[in-house]
Amino acid sequence: MVFAHDTETALLTAAALVNTAATAGDTLTTSAELDAFVRRWEFTGSRTRDRAELQAVRDLRAALRRLWTCQDDEEVVAGVNALLREAHALPQLVRHDHWGWHLHATSPDQPLATRMAVEAAMALVDVVRSDELDRLRVCDADDCSDVLVDLSKNRSRRYCDAGCGNRVNVAAYRARRAGAAV
């Protein structure tokens, strides 16, 4: 494990959220899609299930992508600190459902987008402190801008979860065969 379990989960969740605004199309356009995302990534806490909630979560994606792709540590730190400050984050160890002890820094009655933002920000705190920002990447495929977090031991992940690695390998294989045929 590169980071603590809750940090790794939060990073994978944040990447998945950013990637709902994918090159291939937006998959977070309705309350039902938001419900599915919340279920899939096991967010607990209150929901309003209205347009404003959906819009706030949608807006968060661009902010997270900016932090994810930012090349400047100081800028990431400023962004993370701002997210934590604005939400009045207060780290507390909690245990619920099937999760062991982990950090929450918001209360369950805060808006969903705030809780999502703070969870991502708390994970980025760990990433920055461990000097591991280079594990936050954008997919290497030319036609894909999905983000990914490389949690591999040898820092070898280059492609997102949407199958780009396979696609690129197949294209390279075809190109080699085409080259060999000439």
- Nearest to Zn ion of 14, 141 (CB atom): 141
The H helix count followed by the E strand count for the chain is 6, 6
126 near Zn ion (CB under 5 A): no
CB 111 within 8 A of CB 53: yes
168 near Zn ion (CB under 5 A): no
| Cβ contacts of 7 within 8 Å, gap of 6 or more | 122, 123, 126, 127
Can you say whether the dihedral through the CA atoms of 129, 125, 75, 82 is positive or negative?
A: negative
How many residues at the interface with Zn ion, by CB under 5 A? 7
116 near Zn ion (CB under 5 A): no
Which H helix or E strand runs over 122?
Answer: helix 112-129
141 near Zn ion (CB under 5 A): yes
* Smallest separation, CB 88 to Zn ion (Å): 18
Pick from 123, 173, 179: nearest CA to 149: 123
Work out which of 17, 87, 105, 139 binds Zn ion, going by CB under 5 A.
Answer: 139
- Nearest to Zn ion of 67, 160 (CB atom): 160
* Smallest separation, CB 42 to Zn ion (Å): 8
Cα gap 178→103, rounded to integer Å: 53
Angle, in degrees to the nearest 10, between helices 51-69 and 31-40: 60
Of 9-17, 110-118, 120-128, 141-149, the window that binds Zn ion (rule: CB under 5 A) is 141-149
164 near Zn ion (CB under 5 A): yes
Site string for Zn ion, 39-78 (x = CB under 5 A): ----------------------------------------
Which H helix or E strand runs over 25?
Answer: strand 25-26
Binding site for Zn ion (CB under 5 A): 139, 141, 144, 146, 160, 162, 164
